[in-house]
Amino acid sequence: MFQALGTHGPVLSPMTSLVLDIGLLVAAFWLLATPSKKSLGDTLLLLTLVLAVSAARVLMQPLPNIQPVTVAALIIGAQLGARRGAAFAILVAMISNAIIGNGWWTIFQAIGWASVAVIGSKFAIIANGELQRNRLFVAAIASAFVFDLIVSFSIIDSSTSIVSFLTYLAHGIPYDLLHALGNLTFAVWFGSWFADVVAEEIVVEEVELMSEESIIYHA
């Protein structure tokens, strides 16, 4: 199982790491596959977004706690729904961590961004097909703290007291604020554009599906 248990979470054995990856992958595909089957175009769109945002995360890794994934998860959750948003979050965490560094924290990052996607789907960021910019800004800032808190749970083990965990959180506040500021910047600069990209693809796909149904009906 775990090779070691330290203050920074367990060090995973290769087998445990494999099981973890398989578990995350199964969770992602389960979220994608149910409740209704999606078209190939729908899946390709999501995979394209996953790859693009993973690449953005890897490229921006040198910048401290600047996380383009958070705002992307928020908007995808709002546009495509909680399930696909959560699947997106899990896949991005897995793929980008394969380059940046995989470990115990991947689970928490996947949960963190999946939670952000759920927030996006519930926070009415998209209303009547329109992006609510102010809501997006508020959600982007709040998501930073939600995500950072969830990821912070990865350090808890049997030796971690409440006081030491709170101290740990206190130490990280500057980086939480930077994450929030980074999210706000992404939302201001790219929020509308990204929401449009996702929305446009859905519209095209729906039109194509409708056309196909129409052809079948007339035949």
Partner 1 sequence: MNRLQKLLILCATFIIINTGSVSAISNPSEDDQIYGFEAQWAKQFNGGYVTTAPLIDNATLFVRTSGMWVGQERPQVFAYELNGKELWNHTNQNATQHDMSPLKIIEAGQGFCGNWSKQLIIAWSDGLIESVEPLTGLRKWQYQSEVNVWGITGSSAQDEDKLVVTTRTGIVSLCLADGSLIQNATTDLGWRNGVTITETGYLAGDENGTLWHLSREGNLTSYPLAIGKIRHPPLITDAGIVIHAQGDGHSTIALLDENYSIINTYSSGSSPAMPIMIGQYLVTGDSSELRSFDCSNNCSALSSLTFTTNGEMAMGLDGQFMVPLNTAQGGWKGFTLVENGLLEHVRGFQPGFSTYTTAAPAVYSEGDSDWLVLANDASRMVVYWRGLNDTQPIEDLDENTTANDENNNNNQILLVVIFSSFCAMLFMAGKPEQGKKFSILLILLVAIIAIPTLSTQWSNKVDDISADIGIEDSIDGVEGEWNQSWPEQWQGTQIIIIEIDGQKQMMGGYSGFDNVLQLTNQVAIDLNISITSQQSDIGTYVTSFDGHQGQGWEFFVNGSRGSFSADNVAIEESTIVHWIPA
Contacts to partner 1 by CB under 8 A? 3-8, 10-11, 59-64, 66, 97, 100-101, 103, 105, 109, 151, 159, 161, 163-164, 167-168, 170-175, 177-178, 181-182, 184-185, 188-190, 193
State in angstroms the smallest separation of the CB of 216 from partner 1: 38
State in angstroms the smallest separation of the CB of 173 from partner 1: 7
Q: Token match 């729906």: residue?
A: 206
DSSP SS3 for 131: strand
Give the nearer residue to partner 1 in terms of CB position, either 128 or 159.
159
Give the nearer residue to partner 1 in terms of CB position, either 5 or 127.
5
Give the nearer residue to partner 1 in terms of CB position, either 59 or 124.
59
CB neighbour list of residue 83: distance below 8 Å, 6 or more residues apart: 31, 32, 34
State in angstroms the smallest separation of the CB of 81 from partner 1: 26
> Contact 50/68 with Cβ under 8 angstroms?
no
CB neighbour list of residue 182: distance below 8 Å, 6 or more residues apart: 63, 65, 66, 67, 68, 144
